[in-house]
């Protein structure tokens, strides 16, 4: 790798995978036929750019209540996305209010007991040093009893890099740096003696020692990607990878493109003697009948916040994961009013069938989002979750 010396990282085995411990929270979650997560709406508007009235709120109290409800329903994990978007735009769902994903999920450890808590962190932004995150992670791993993890993000928007004082780092170079960063974390979490390290390009330190020691090898590692460089990173490090449907947000496009994509992601881990689970983000629009669900979806679209959607499109991005998605389609695609990577719309029975088809396409879990989170999650728990159990998707 360009200007990175990782020799010191390879002189001793890195921290064990928490899934190697049968009693770890991750291992317990992975006993489910499919993982079930909730994508917390910790930023104003959540995933959807529509002004249709709803309860969805970015506040900590609202998200804490959602997390506790998800845990009660048996969900396996929660996390929220991270953004550094500047103030701007005029639409009612413009992103101006929002919580930090790291601090939010860390705070949830004290009010939950079983659910996995994943913090999205841009590891290449600002003042992050691996020793900082290794210590913070070890502490949270201890407090949560092995339920905490990192969603490693490298940043795909130029303005975010500029916010921290430099030009956007080239796409594949970001993954080289992230590989070094996470390799250092794994080494710091595994070392039983002081550890020193010096890179030609980035981080250095002398006599580092991190405690407390993890109960299950190390914290959980997650990341989101769709590029070649990102998939190679997944194969070396990640326990769970947050994927997108390569060819679009409608169910037909997802089912046609995901089998090859998920197989490729999993093979990358196999090539490194590991396993990785894939996690997809569907936004669920469910009502008692297909007609009611379609009417609900259409109402969301009819109230689309076009100004906010247009405002977000001005930010340049080199992300690969969304390249196959349409733009300007308010139902499906990048910037849709409904939101999510895939939009699942229908009756409880139809939603169950669609999730079953996605499982058969190689998806190991679903990080769900809703338009009106609290009532829609309640409805999902009452009407869809029992059907998932009947279908063998949940125990």
Tens digits of residue pLDDT in 111-127: 999 999 999 999 988 77
The answer, yes or no, to whether residue 179 has pLDDT greater than 70, is yes
Interior angle at CA 94, CA 373 and CA 106, nearest 5:
55
Q: What percent of the chain has pLDDT over 90?
A: 70
Q: If we measure between CA atoms, which residue out of 27, 145, 47 comes closest to residue 369?
A: 47
DSSP string covering 209-264: ---SPPTTSS-EEEEE--SHHHHHHHHHH-SEEEE--TT-SSHHHHHHHHHHHHHH
Q: In angstroms, how far apart are the furthest CA atoms of the chain? A: 64
The CATH code that applies to domain 7-390 is: 3.20.20.30
| Centroid of chain to Cα 40 | 10
Structure tokens at 218: 């190390």
pLDDT score at 169: 84
The pLDDT score that the predictor gives to residue 1 is 36
Residue 312 has a pLDDT of 56
Which range, of 48-52, 189-193, 336-340, averages the lowest pLDDT? 336-340
Kindly tell me if the per-residue pLDDT of 329 is higher than 80: no
> Helix (H, G, I), strand (E, B), or coil: what is residue 67?
helix
Of residues 155 and 206, more confidently modeled: 206
Average pLDDT over residues 210-215: 92
Between CA 288 and CA 178 the distance in angstroms is: 45
Cα 106 to the chain's mean position, in Å?
A: 15
User: Roughly what angle, to the nearest 10 degrees, separates helices 130-143 and 171-190?
Assistant: 60
Bridging pattern class, strands 282-286 and 365-370:
parallel
Q: Is residue 322 pLDDT above 50, yes or no?
A: no
Share of the chain above pLDDT 70, in %: 86
Please report the pLDDT score of residue 316 as a whole number.
62
Return d(Cα 150, Cα 141) in angstroms, integer: 11
What are the boundaries of each domain within the chain?
Answer: 7-390
Residue 12 has pLDDT above 50, yes or no: no
Higher pLDDT, 306 or 284: 284
> How many DSSP H helices and E strands does the chain contain?
13, 12
What is the reported pLDDT for 318? 56
Burial class (CB in 10 A: 0-12, 13-18, 19+), 383: middle
CA distances from 22 to 26, 31, 217, 233 (A): 9, 10, 12, 25
For the segment 328-353, the average pLDDT, to the nearest whole number, is 82
71 vs 312 pLDDT, higher one: 71
Q: What is the mean pLDDT of residues 297-304?
A: 93
Q: Can you give the pTM of this predicted structure?
A: 0.91
């Amino acid at each position: 790798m360009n200007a990175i010396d990782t020799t010191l990282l390879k002189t001793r085995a890195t921290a064990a995978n928490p899934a190697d411990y049968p009693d770890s929270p991750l291992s317990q979650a992975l006993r489910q036929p499919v993982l079930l997560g909730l994508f917390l709406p910790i930023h104003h508007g959540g995933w959807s750019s529509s002004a249709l009235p709803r309860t969805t709120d970015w506040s900590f109290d609202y998200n804490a209540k959602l997390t506790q409800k998800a845990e009660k329903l048996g969900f396996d994990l929660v996390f929220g996305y991270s953004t550094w978007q500047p103030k701007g735009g005029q639409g009612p769902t413009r992103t101006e209010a929002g919580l930090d994903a790291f601090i939010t999920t860390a705070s949830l450890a004290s009010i939950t007991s079983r659910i996995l808590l994943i913090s999205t962190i841009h590891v290449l932004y600002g003042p992050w040093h691996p020793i900082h995150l290794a210590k913070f992670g070890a502490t949270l791993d201890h407090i949560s009893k092995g339920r905490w993890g990192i969603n490693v993000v490298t940043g795909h928007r130029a303005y975010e890099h500029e916010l921290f004082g430099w030009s956007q780092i080239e796409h594949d170079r970001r993954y080289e740096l992230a590989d070094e960063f996470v390799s250092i974390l794994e080494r710091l979490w595994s070392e039983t003696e002081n550890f020193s390290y010096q890179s030609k390009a980035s981080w250095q330190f002398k006599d580092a020692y991190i405690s407390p020691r993890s109960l299950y090898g190390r914290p959980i590692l997650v990341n989101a990607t769709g590029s070649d460089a990102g998939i190679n990173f997944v194969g070396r490090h990640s326990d769970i990878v947050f994927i997108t449907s390569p060819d679009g947000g409608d169910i037909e496009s997802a089912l046609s493109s995901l089998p090859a994509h998920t197989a490729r992601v999993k093979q990358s881990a196999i090539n490194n003697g590991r396993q990785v689970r894939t996690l997809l983000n569907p936004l669920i629009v469910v009502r008692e009948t297909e007609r009611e669900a379609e009417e609900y979806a259409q109402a969301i679209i009819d109230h689309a916040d076009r100004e906010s959607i247009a405002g977000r499109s001005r930010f340049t991005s080199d992300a690969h994961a969304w390249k196959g998605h349409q733009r300007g389609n308010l139902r499906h695609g990048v910037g849709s009013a409904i939101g999510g990577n895939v939009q699942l719309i229908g009756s409880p029975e139809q939603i169950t069938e669609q999730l079953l088809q996605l499982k058969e396409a190689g998806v190991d879990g679903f990080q769900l989002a809703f338009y009106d989170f609290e009532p829609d999650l309640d409805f999902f728990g009452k009407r869809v979750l029992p059907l998932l159990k009947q279908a063998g998707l949940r125990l």
